[in-house]
Structure 1
């Protein structure tokens, strides 16, 4: 958030082994900052003062953190802590990113200045640095408008799905959502959508990153927020989108009469995010009785004051207040969105009185079954099923594949992340296919192709309708899940992760597995389990293919290894693109019939224990495990 001379200070090199060398560089840094202070062009005084104080205090370590690197722009856009420096989300880095993105769009859309872009934002704020989502969105809009590009800037907070919806609904060139989703409160992000309404994929990420580097110097009017105040290039799409989105998702409401008369009660929490008012609107569109709101969490709160992590994927710890409200109101189902409302968690009270929090894979099985069941009711021509598709990420359960095999529709797996499922869905839709559903195990669901991304708002209403319908059959969500497994085969999954902030440890771990018994070899066993196949989507190797080349796209910038075992188990290890995590996923599948789910669970636990013990050694000392 300061001018080029401060950004170029050699803070990245202030880690010399010599104490005298470190002191010399500290002095050089301080003298250069003091000598050139008059050239500082910072527009945010709070962030400027942070940098000045770090320099005055000779806080080289923190300066190195702030300025030693630049945020990487990838397929997930940007995500980092808000604060000072090139490694942080702040006014200047948002302006620089938007300038690069604008230039890149100019290269790809000759009609950019006719069609324009949409920009949305959540409720995140960082008082210490003066950064917040609305300000970042306004600065991004200023950059585009200053360059003659029309901008549809939402006047208020919206769920993330509204941005990709707006891109396709208004046929825009691109969309930007300022959000860090479920990350900790100090973080923010800059999420980018292409003209097809899907998140960007390669090569756009590299192209945008290069354009950012070529446009670091702020353009003359990039800081001038007054420029957009009365500009004819700036429009507010809030009312229009808020109306048409809910009209469009109504096409997936199949049992309105049941919804109107249902006695089912729902609790909803937005976990201090933006989602509650929009979920209420979705319930209204479906003629569902309004859900009870967790009062302490229904309004946006950038401090996320009642939870340690604002991530409903963490399970029961995030839902404590929801359980209490459900007990008070006699509700049997809890719906929870993450702070930007693109994901959904669901819990159901069991006959024992305990609460079952469905995993992403379990809810994926339920929603996949429901979407196909409803489609069949509406389509009596058996031949139409040949054009029906469902998708899931490669680390998600393969239950949809089992349903597809029996029912005759198509199932495809993609790389991890909705950017891949969204882009593939767009391709299929362009070919005249019907994309019914897509999901990823990280509680992300696309129940309607009007949004080619995960959408926790529509998923909440559709899940509620499914529950109301099942109640008329005296069946619960948990019971229906069991019916699905009995009909299509049990799919037992287990997933968790290690936190790791040391990139060298991650590199050593995956390199060791790639060179287990010599260069280019992988483990042949894991505990008592025999490895029958290896797929490495970092290097492009797949032992199960005749040419040993992986079919799915590969990426050298991320780690991803999948092991298949002779007992039918599959396990994947990968690094997260947005968090300091090494994630692992395991699944054992059994054909329909007399499978014993408890035996499968026991076998899966043994496999996961072996993976943690064998594959994560000897690096475990630098890893922080999370509960399985």
Structure 2
């Protein structure tokens, strides 16, 4: 069926007048946009869906959201046929998020399912916490994380508070695909809605404090700058910092105002240095020790600290997670909490330094695919046999403890501020603490390159690029022979030096390639699951012995990453 044929179906009476009018406009005035809106169905993937808002099968709208929710409702009734079903719903600051939240609630209640619906914007990790805290069967959050303003999304959580994984994900997908638009029940029952307000924030914040803080040294002397970058954490982080005893906090007032336009930034992504520029400017005035910013749905955090020259420097996700993981394990070790049955969680694109940290403290480091739902799965599978301590991934996500089953900026911010306060009280900086870790375990330096390819043509180009990297892998990278290639789509590991191919069955299939070289270099290539990008992750390493050694070798490793990009013809 062509895009035009699919669009004509949206002119039928089962679609509302506003939708029919917009479809007709696209048919009359913008055939290329019509094709992009209808050339495929917006996929309900293994965690939910994310897309540009607008009419069409490839857009996020009343009908694609309704279809997803009707399918979820059908699956919930199958799984909990003789039980009361309750679902928690939260939403971020994006355009239409609040309206979408009520729409989703209406579809659920129309199907006889009770709903806990937040009255206002709340961070994604608070939704994850609430699912378990309120004993819900599932949770839904309306968010597109740090995507541009035209995007929104829909993410599903299971009764353990983690994002859905097998078998629930495929079961829900199967039910969603069965639903025809005319079968969606939109006429909700408000009697089945329980509204959630600030009282839930206090319960969540108390859990963050309990699970994230270890000692109280220097909190009152730490100078903090915080920005929510127009996102949801304006509701929780200021209150959490105050309750934990961090009294010297300055806020970027312009960015503490929630807005789906994100008016002061090009991208509301704390991974981007520009997103924290206003916070960094404020830090110069206040002489801050640490700068922190979060993304719109409040699960990611970006951190800047004073470097060896005394200037504010944004840490990458691996560096932040290295500091937090080492500190937590060191605290557990000092407090004699280790039993030999603990583990930390990481992902295949995250720095391998976490294996070294785990080895240093005698815990296991478990690794999964990209995304915190896989760390959530680790926790669920280990319950009763192993204790989860913390976990992180390179894309500015971290979680401490298992009270939240997704990356959590609030608890991570409290922990980062404790580390910074402890360092300051001991005449050190967080950056020096990081260098001390590198001196002990080796200097790991990472880089990330995103190549954007939009639309149908862009998706085709990304597919061809992945095919080329599979069929014609490089023989060397920055002068070091490629010794091993892991292909997670084929679930194979090619040991080139031994001319051997091994099967990999411990991690699910995914369109990811990783090259490993003889000198410890690691390059991972994967298409983004949420944005029109192909992503390249670079990791290189050397040993260091001093702060002076750090400066020179970090520069050498930066140059090495540039060489690798040239070898892959990315420059």
**TM-score band w.r.t. shorter chain:** over 0.9
CA distance in 1, matches of 2:534, 2:275: 22
Q: Which residues of 2 match residues 206-605 of structure 1 at below 5 A? A: 206-219=170-183, 222-225=185-188, 227-228=189-190, 231=191, 233-252=192-211, 254=213, 257-258=216-217, 262-289=220-247, 291-315=249-273, 317-350=274-307, 352-379=309-336, 384-428=338-382, 430-501=383-454, 502-516=458-472, 522-526=473-477, 528-544=479-495, 548-555=502-509, 558-590=510-542, 596-597=549-550, 600-601=553-554, 604-605=557-558
TM-score normalised per structure 2: 0.93
SS of alignment partner, residue 412 of structure 1: strand
CA contact (8 A) 1:268 1:276 kept: no
Shift in Å, 1:513: 2.6
Q: Is structure 2 residue 15 aligned with structure 1 residue 42?
A: yes
Deviations 1:356-375 (A, max 9, x none): 10010100111001211222
In the alignment, which residue of structure 2 is the partner of 1:119?
Answer: 89
Range 192-201 or range 603-612, more displaced? 603-612
Tell whether the 8 Å contact from 1:489 to 1:593 is kept in structure 2 after alignment: no
- 1:24 match: none
Change (3 A) 1:12 1:598: farther
Show CA shifts across 1:370-417 (max 9, x none). 21122223326xxx3411211111111122211221221111221111
What are the Cα deviations for residues 236-276 of structure 1, in whole angstroms up to 9, with x where unaligned? 2334421211222222354564355x221111111111112
What SS does the aligned partner of 2:124 have? coil
- Distance between the aligned counterparts of 2:131 and 2:301, measured in 1? 22
| Cα distance change on mapping 1:40 and 1:560 into 2, 3 Å | same
- Contact 2:212–2:401 (CA under 8 A) maintained in structure 1: no
What is the CA distance between 1:591 and its match in structure 2? 5.5
Give the CA RMSD over aligned residues.
2.4
Q: Is the 8 A contact 1:255 1:469 kept in 2?
A: no
What CA deviation, in whole Å up to 9, does each residue of 1:110-129 have, x standing for no partner?
345x141111111111xxxx
Question: CA 1:473 to 1:203, structure 2 compared with 1: closer, same or farther past 3 Å?
Answer: same
In the alignment, the residues of structure 2 paired with residue 610 and residue 470 of structure 1 have an alpha-carbon distance, to the nearest angstrom, of: 36
* 3-state SS of paired residue (1:79): strand
The CA deviation string for residues 4-54 of structure 1, in whole angstroms up to 9 with x for no partner, is xxxx8x42579xxxxxxxxxxxxxx8xx68xx95x42334x5444322322
The count of residues paired between Structure 1 and Structure 2 equals 564
Measure the CA separation in 2 of the matches of 1:309 and 1:48: 32
Tell me the CA shift for residue 418 of structure 1: 0.7
1:216 & 1:464 partners in 2: Cα distance? 50
Offset at 1:603? 5.1
Alpha-carbon distance in structure 2 between the residues aligned to 1:355 and 1:111: 57
Q: Say if 2:544 and 2:550, in contact at 8 Å, map to a contact too.
A: no
Which among 41, 59, 62 is matched to residue 70 of structure 1? Answer: 41
Counterpart CA distance in 2 for 1:164 and 1:538 is: 29
Whether the 8 Å contact between 2:289 and 2:420 is mirrored in structure 1 is no
1:170 deviates by: 2.0
Instruction: State the distance in 1 between where 2:464 and 2:187 align.
Output: 47
Q: Is the 8 A contact 1:312 1:318 kept in 2?
A: yes
SS of residue matched to 1:275: helix
Change (3 A) 1:432 1:206: closer
CA distance in 2, matches of 1:257, 1:200: 37
> Hey, what's the Cα distance between the residues in 2 that align with 1:203 and 1:496?
33
Shift, 1:598, TM fit: 5.0
SS, match of residue 328 in structure 1: helix
SS in 1 for 2:255: coil
Contact 2:540 2:561 in 1 (8 A): no
Note if contact 1:96-1:218 (Cα within 8 Å) is conserved in structure 2.
no
SS in 2 for 1:531: strand
1: distance between equivalents of 2:474 and 2:310? 44
Partner SS for 2:136? coil
Residues 323 and 605 of structure 1, relative CA distance in 2, 3 Å threshold: closer
Cα deviation, residue 199, structure 1: 0.9
Mark the CA change 1:257 to 1:437 in structure 2 (over 3 Å): closer, same or farther.
Answer: closer
- Kindly indicate whether the alpha-carbon contact (under 8 Å) linking 1:561 and 1:572 is maintained by their aligned counterparts in 2: yes
| Cα deviation, residue 607, structure 1 | 4.3
1:214 to 1:534, Cα distance in 2 relative to 1, 3 A: same
Q: 1:610 to 1:549 in 2, by over 3 A?
A: farther
* Aligned partners of 2:306 and 2:430 also within 8 Å: no
Do 1:348 and 1:477's aligned partners in 2 also have CA atoms closer than 8 Å? yes
**Distance change in 2, residues 1:327/1:586 (3 Å):** same
Between the aligned partners of 2:503 and 2:197, the Cα distance in structure 1 is 47
| Aligned match of 2:63 | 92
The 1:538–1:386 alpha-carbon spacing in structure 2 relative to 1, beyond 3 Å, is same
**Residues 598 and 288 from structure 1, CA distance in 2 versus in 1: closer, same or farther, beyond 3 angstroms?**
closer
CA contact (8 A) 1:332 1:349 kept: yes
Alignment partners' CA distance in 1, 2:153 and 2:285: 37
